[in-house]
Chain A
Amino acid sequence: MKTRRVASAAAASFMIVACPVCNSAGANEVVVMGANSPVAAVTADQLTQLFLGRVHTLPNGSSAVLIDQAEGSAIRDEFYSKATGKSAAQIKALWSRLTFSGAAQPPKSVTSDADVKKIVASTPGAIGYIDRSAVDSSVKVVLTLD
């Protein structure tokens, strides 16, 4: 059991680290919230609107706290490509517009699946994305991207 967990953690970190050089094909991101979150699921449309800074509330009406992965990471670029159809450059331009017009703050960004899990598990309304293989009992999958 323990070895399997270690193996899956190793696999997860391998994917994150190695994917920038392996064309990142086949990565499988899931959108997660804390295991105790009252939100059961979000739709692809709702996810797009949240991560493009267009709406700030979750389907249950409470405030959303967006959690990003590191700029330039494969999982982040792939997430935005799937969730919004936009490239990293377009997302950067978008958040420049929102930030410097005083309209919104960009999502908080962290550097690993583990950090995403830690934050979404402890912050009400926090929503982030991790590799499917990193899912554990601290988080709840609210949408699978493929």
Chain B
Amino acid sequence: MNRPLFPLCRPASSIGLCAFAIAFLGSGSACAQDGPSARFTGFGTIGVVHSSEKDADFTSVSDQPNGAGYTRSWDFDPDTKMAAQVDLVANEQLSATAQLMTRQRYDDTYTPELMLAFAKWQFEPEYALRVGRLPLPIFLISDSRTVGFSQPQVRPPVEMYGAFYLYHYDGADLTWTTSFAGTAVKSQLYIGATKPRLPADASLSVSPLAGVNVTAESGELTVRASYNRGKGTASSPALDAAFEGIRNGFPPGALYPGSPGIPGDPALANRYGLTDKIVTYSSLGLNYDPGRWFVTSELGAVSAVGVSAHETLGYVTAGTRIGAFTPYATVARFKDKIAGSTTGNLVVDALRIGSATSSQKTIGVGLRWDAMKNLDFKGQFDHARPDAGASGFLVNTQENYRPGMAYNVVSVSSDFVF
């Protein structure tokens, strides 16, 4: 069971130490219409994935309990999803939106989840306040990450989005959308909390969580910057037991046959325990799209300063449009590291080292075909190489799995909107 407890880190051991994540975004405003109205729409993806690594599972997002490779040779779970949305517009100022989605969840079911449920008050033409369940806006496309039809790739690169299973938060945001000398600028402030569930009875709580996000769009160029900060707590039966042991001490032989006794150290448990630790997330996104070709790039940095864990992540996707076909290529990189010296406590050091094993890079090529006005087909080939000793973004690593081995992923999908 190789399961990340925090989006920030992906533990290699059965117990995971990690950090969290946060979020953030930009929302715009609805356009006003005459009288009350209701719109019913939806979107979805049907996709199948094959991974050459047979001793571990490839997943699109790390809150998925299994995927392609070990569990299934060809698997529909990583990318397949379906969502229905209703938008109610009362008048020019008031509207409400709800979105229900089914996809593979932490518990390996497709139980529908409420992804969005908010009311919006456009109290001035340029200002809007939204309250309820809102999309987390940390990244350039994180508020629309599930909408395959809006993206060239089969899925947003796992190095950037795979470790982020924070989809939404409950809270409020304020957006200001204006124009300066031909450049549209949307600024967003948000505050709230999010508590995603994870496989193996693990969970994460980031509360409170707040951020600021600015998007500037001028002609062919879009630039987005965000800064987010939250207080995170991670929990799982294994993690809780480990820190309970660190706090109270381990008797001789408790960890493995013949292991030395370790005295209890409440201060160390508090220092490295994943309870109420501040996490910051900064990101910069860029899209340049003159029409015939485009390039999209994102860079991010995540820090859980309290536990000295840091991640840097990013990708570049470039493509060209030839009629209804869009060939593209992506290079992505994820790097995590644990700063600071060892603590001398066997268990704490093992947890810390085990929490930074996701470093990986991927080179991929793909093709999107806009077959109909609301339907596309995509094919993608990825070559992923975890760093030495790392398992990258694979989960469910088995006994025969060897860290640091490159693997290939083949994906075929179709996205639709209605």
* Partner-B contacts on A (CB < 8 A): 43, 45-46, 48-49, 52-57, 61-66, 71-72, 85-90, 92-94, 96-108, 119, 123, 125
Contacts and interface: CB of A to CB of B under 8 A. Distances in A.
B43 A56 contact: no
Given A100-B85, A100-B147, 14 more contacts: A53-B28, A54-B28, A56-B28, A63-B92, A63-B125, A85-B291, A93-B150, A96-B150, A97-B147, A99-B87, A100-B83, A103-B26, A103-B28, A119-B34
A71 B177 contact: no
A72 B373 contact: yes
B99 A100 contact: yes
Interface in B100-145: 116, 118, 122, 125-126, 130, 134-135, 141, 143-144
B30 A104 contact: yes
B267 interface: no
Interface string B27-38: 111111110000
Contact of B31 (A56, A101, A102): A56
Contacts of B43: 96, 100
Nearest to A66: B31
B97 A97 contact: no
Contacts, number: 129
B179 interface: yes
Interface residues of B, number: 54
B34 A64 contact: no
A89 B29 contact: no
A66 B324 CA distance: 27
Contacts of B32: 63, 65, 125
A103 B27 contact: yes
A97 B122 contact: no
B184 A92 contact: no
Contacts of B31: 56, 63-66, 104-108
Contacts of B89: 105
Contact of B29 (A87, A90, A97, A104): A104
Contacts of A53: 28
A33 B230 CA distance: 46
Contacts of B398: none
Given A101-B135, A103-B27, A105-B39, A96 B147 contact: yes
Contacts of B25: 101
A54 B125 contact: no
B185 to A, nearest CB: 9
A27 B130 CA distance: 41
A88 B291 CA distance: 12
A54 B299 CA distance: 23
Contact of B125 (A56, A85, A90, A103): A56
Q: Which of B83, B99, B125, B134 has its CB near the most chain A CB atoms (within 10 A)? A: B125
A103 B30 CA distance: 7
A85 B30 CA distance: 23
Interface string B386-407: 0000000000000000000000
